[in-house]
Structure 1
Amino acid sequence: MKCVVGLGNPGATYALTRHNIGFLVVDALAERAGRPIKLAECEALTGRITLGTEVVLLAKPQTFMNASGQAVALLCAKYDCNPQHDLLAVVDDVALPFGRLRLRAKGSAGGHNGLKSLNAKLKTEHYARLRVGIGPAHPVGNLADFVLSRFSAAEQSELPALTARAADAVEAWVCHGIELAMARFNA
């Protein structure tokens, strides 16, 4: 079983903030499959879909971004998920321009607190991640305020296409592997 984890913050206050793009991508995958993400387990909301011949566990940790690793580690243990081969984390990336995607097979947290938590709890950086660009076109004064702010009207109009493209990248990772997915979506 593959595990695709969208990182974000739970609750209506954070629902459409930039930091929650991981939740939005996982929601797009669930919506495509007509399957809800509503089972509460391992400090996350989960749902299962099938992509190709692969069963995929979709998860949205409910531990808040900075403690996401706690839920992900519990899910990996429960479902015997080997992070190196079976885990994909979907996260926001303020260093990438809005709308740009970057898939990697492994890597550092790069300053992202959600990934720092995963690295610490999983005791590895060897898991795939899909970074979704939320970067501003201009410098921002307070980065925390920026990532916790809502998308602009222009960005909101582009969100459906962005989450659909990110969901396509996840499907490519599941069905064809990281190398093909990187070649197709990192351009």
Structure 2
Amino acid sequence: MTTFWEKAPPAPPVRPRRARWSRPVAVVVVVSVIGLVGFLVLSAVGLWLYANHDRPELIDRPDVVAVVEDGCARLRADLAAHPVPTGAAPSVRAAAISAQDEAIRAFVAHVRTLDAATRADDLPVDDWLSDWERLARARDDVSDALGRGVAGVLVVPRDQGRPVTTRMSAVGVTCVDLARLVRRT
């Protein structure tokens, strides 16, 4: 035994007890972490899918847009090369309209060089091309009337009550000034 004036040996170090989680708390934490990671992964995938989805009302597939814009450049040049002179004789106007309509048909044929599956993957393309063809046919009627010496009146084709030119200008590609193609000649 030691007396109070003698030093006592040092006490062994006390290790703090590690807090132990109870099993239910551990399960809740693990499930929460898994849920949070799952939510973040699903959110990232959803954001990527949304950012890369096809907007059905727009021509937006890059390979399709490239071909369309190339065709549009050619169409603009062809239309500029064959202006419809407003004060010219009806036969001259008819010839100019016919030349423009052939340019429209060449444009449509150029875009249709894309395979059908590629065009179908960018939803409005085929309907848009059909609208171009319908507009060219309506302009052909005007050209034919002028060629016969009769005043031709362009009747813009309609789809569900709306002029096809409205839908043609709403696909995200501005090819030509459609108002110039449908104005009175």
Q: Same fold (TM over 0.5)?
A: no
**TM-score range normalised by the length of the shorter chain:** under 0.3
Which of 1 and 2 has higher RCO (CA within 8 Å, sep 6+)? 1
Q: Which has the larger radius of gyration?
A: 2
**Could you say which structure has the higher strand fraction?**
1
**Could you say which structure has the higher helix fraction?**
2
